[in-house]
Structure 1
């Protein structure tokens, strides 16, 4: 079972990857670094929150674990 600290660390790293990806996609789609960056920040904030909740819920599910 992951600790909350491990879960948040994983979530932050994953969201940094997503932030960079979304900023590039936003830049390509809009031609604006400011708009692309804003889109990326909103996406990262929502993604971080949802990923943390998702991981904490799955930590309570024993299905599929080798005990």
Structure 2
């Protein structure tokens, strides 16, 4: 079984990686560090919130869950 701290480390490192990619793409389009940072940070916050909502929705779906 995977330890919780490993899962947290993976989630945080992935979010940093994905935010860096969004920042880089935004910088290619805007050419501005400030705007790119705002876009990257906004995307990270929005995606985190949306993922939480998505998880809560899936928590109500019994499909594929083994009964104990």
Normalised by the size of structure 2, how large is the TM-score? 0.68
State yes or no: 1:32 paired with 2:32.
yes
Deviation for aligned residue 1:32 = 1.1
The structure with higher relative contact order (CA 8 Å, sep 6+) is 1
The number of aligned residues is 60
Deviation for aligned residue 1:65 = 2.9
Deviation for aligned residue 1:40 = 0.6
> Which stretch shifts more, 37-46 or 14-23?
14-23
Q: Which runs of 5+ in 2 are unaligned?
A: none
Q: 1:31-50 alignment to 2 at 5 Å? A: 31-50=31-50
Q: Which runs of 5+ in 1 are unaligned?
A: none
- For the pair shown, the structure with the greater C-alpha radius of gyration is 2
Distance 1:11 1:59 in 2: 19
- The alignment's C-alpha RMSD in Å is 2.3
State yes or no: 1:15 paired with 2:10.
no
Deviation for aligned residue 1:19 = 1.0
Q: Which runs of 4+ in 1 moved over 4 A?
A: 9-14
